[in-house]
Amino acid sequence: MERIAAFEVIESGVLTTIQDLGRYGFSQFGVPLSGATDTFSLRVANLLVGNKEGEACLEITLTGLKIKALREVVIALTGGDLCPTLNEEPLEMWRTHLLVEGDVINFKKVRSGCRTYLAVGGGIAVPKIMGSSSTYLSGKFGGLEGRALRRGDLFHIFELPSSLDKLGLRFPKDWIFPLEKEVPLRAIPGPQDHHFTEKGFETFHSSSYRVTPQSDRMGVRLEGPEIERRSHVEESIISEGLISGAVQVPGDGKPIIILTELVTGGYTKIATIISIDLPRVAQLKPGDRVRFKPISIEAAHSLLKEQEERLREFREVLRQR
C-alpha cells in the first residue's frame, strides 16, 4: 500500500510513541506485549476516524508535542486531556476533525489524565514488527525505529478511502470514565495474596497511594503505607509471567502497578486490576492518588461485557452514518 506523509513533528514534547493494541504471540521469547496503555481510548479514537479499532495511533504523554499537518487528514483525540489546540484554538476531544495542510496541533498543559491518543484516518503507517506497530522502548524496536518521536520526524498514513463522512462525530461523553482526584481501582486478589497478612491486606485496601515520578510504560510506582507480608514467606518468588494491571509488592512494601512493557517478574503480586480500570491506570501521572477496592471476577467480567456492549452500540451508530 502507498504511504503518504501526513504530519511533521515540530516539537517532540515529553514522550510520544506509536502504539497499537500490542504484540501477541512472542512472550515465550521474552517479548512484552507493549501497545497502548489505555486501549479503550485508542480503540475509540480509531473508530471515530473510520479505522479498524486496532490501528496504530500516537500515544502522547503529558505536554509539549507540536505537529503540523502536511495534507488534508481526519483525526480524533481521546484519552487524557492535555489541552490540545488547533492553530492556537482549543480543540474538542472525543470527536472527529478535518485538518488541512499547514494546520498545527499543540499539547500545552495537562488538564486531566496523562496520555492522549491521536488517530488519523487511514492509520499510521510503520513497518509491523512481529505483527504489531507498537513501539517497545527498552527493546528499541517497533513503531518509528523503536524510539519516541523527535523533532523533524515525518509520519505517514496509508492511502485509504476518506472518512469525511464521519466528520463531526462525537463519542458519548457519559461513556467516558470521570477523572477523579483519588482514582478508584478495582482489583482481584492474587496470585500471591496468600503471601500477605490480613493487616497488610487491610492497609492495601484502606490507604490512599500517591503516584511517584519513577513511573513509565513499564509500571506505575506508588508511595504510601507499607503492605505487611507474612513472616515466613520470601520477598521474591520464582520469576513468572506478568499482565498489565498486576500489582507487585517488592521488599519495601510499596506497590507497583505493572503496565505493558514487562513480560516476567519475580516479585509477589497482591492483586491484579481489572481490565476496564486499566485506562484509569494509564491516565495516572506523578502526584495523582489511587485507592484499591476488591472485586470478584464475576463482577469484573460483567463490567467488561457492559463496556464491550457499549462499544458495539457505538460501532452500530457509526455504521448507520
Partner 1 sequence: MGLYPKTISYLMGDRGLLLEFGDEISREINQKVRRMALAIQVEDVAGIIETVPTYRSLLIIYDPLILPIENLKRRLKGIEKGLQQTPLPGPKLTRIPVLYGGIYGPDLEEVARVLQISSEKVIQLHCSIPYLIYMIGFMPGYPYMGELPQALVVPRLKTPRLVVPKGSVAIAQRQTGIYSMESPGGWQILGRTPVEMFNPEKDPPSLLQMGDLVQFYAVTEKEFEHWSE
The distance of closest approach from Cβ of residue 59 to partner 1 in the complex, given in angstroms and rounded to an integer, is 20
Only one of the segments 38-46, 102-110, 158-166, 262-270 lies at the binding site for partner 1 (rule: CB under 8 A); that segment is 262-270
The distance of closest approach from Cβ of residue 170 to partner 1 in the complex, given in angstroms and rounded to an integer, is 26
Q: Is 274 in the site for partner 1 (CB under 8 A)?
A: yes
Q: Is 220 in the site for partner 1 (CB under 8 A)?
A: no
CB-nearer residue toward partner 1: 151 or 305: 305
Terminal-residue alpha carbon distance, the chain = 27
Length of the chain: 321
Q: Is 90 in the site for partner 1 (CB under 8 A)?
A: no
Q: Is 242 in the site for partner 1 (CB under 8 A)?
A: yes
Q: Is 154 in the site for partner 1 (CB under 8 A)?
A: no
In contact, 201 and 193? CB cutoff 8 Å: yes
CB-nearer residue toward partner 1: 20 or 81: 20
Quote the CA–CA distance of 253 and 235 in Å, as a whole number: 9
Find the binder of partner 1 among 2, 30, 232, 316 (CB under 8 A).
30
Quote the CA–CA distance of 278 and 248 in Å, as a whole number: 15
Backbone Cα Rg of the chain: 20
Find the binder of partner 1 among 8, 12, 15, 27 (CB under 8 A).
27
**Helix spans in the chain (H):** 39-48, 198-206, 278-282, 297-319
Cα 316 to its chain centre, rounded Å, is: 24
Q: Edge to edge, what strands does the sheet with 15-19 contain?
A: 15-19, 57-61, 112-120, 73-81, 96-99
Interface residues with partner 1 (CB under 8 A)? 24-31, 33, 129-130, 138-142, 187-192, 238-243, 245-246, 263-264, 269, 272-275, 297, 300-301, 304-305, 308
